[in-house]
Amino acid sequence: MELANTFEFITPERIRIKGTRVGIEVVIEKFLEGASPEEIQRHHPHLTLKQIYATITYYLFNRAEIDAYIKAGHKRVEAAYEEQRRNPSPGVKRLIKVKEQREASGLQFHEEAQ
């Protein structure tokens, strides 16, 4: 069995376990945190042990490349989060305004009660 057949190389930034929506980084990060393949499967019962072992094996044979892949993914997520914080969508802006109004009215209520 060729390990690469276990994965879908959607783009250089997205590698999934074939037949699932699970990125290889999900399994690898749990493995690096010390989880056994069986523990990983308990958290992701839709994955087979064969898929999990194949993902770990692929990682171990391509460690530098996959570490860089995971690090780049984290950077993309952080950049997207920061961009969203700087430029929230109209819906998020409305939620922020509602939250501020509720907090302001809550503070006024507490001040009047004292």
Q: Domains (ranges, CATH) in the chain?
A: 3-88 (1.10.10.10)
Query: In which residue ranges of the chain is pLDDT below 50?
Result: 109
The CA distance from 62 to 70, in Å, is: 12
pLDDT in tens, 52-82: 999 999 999 999 999 999 999 999 888 888 9
Q: Is the pTM of this model over 0.85?
A: no
Q: Which residues contact 91 (CB under 8 A, 6 or more apart)?
A: none
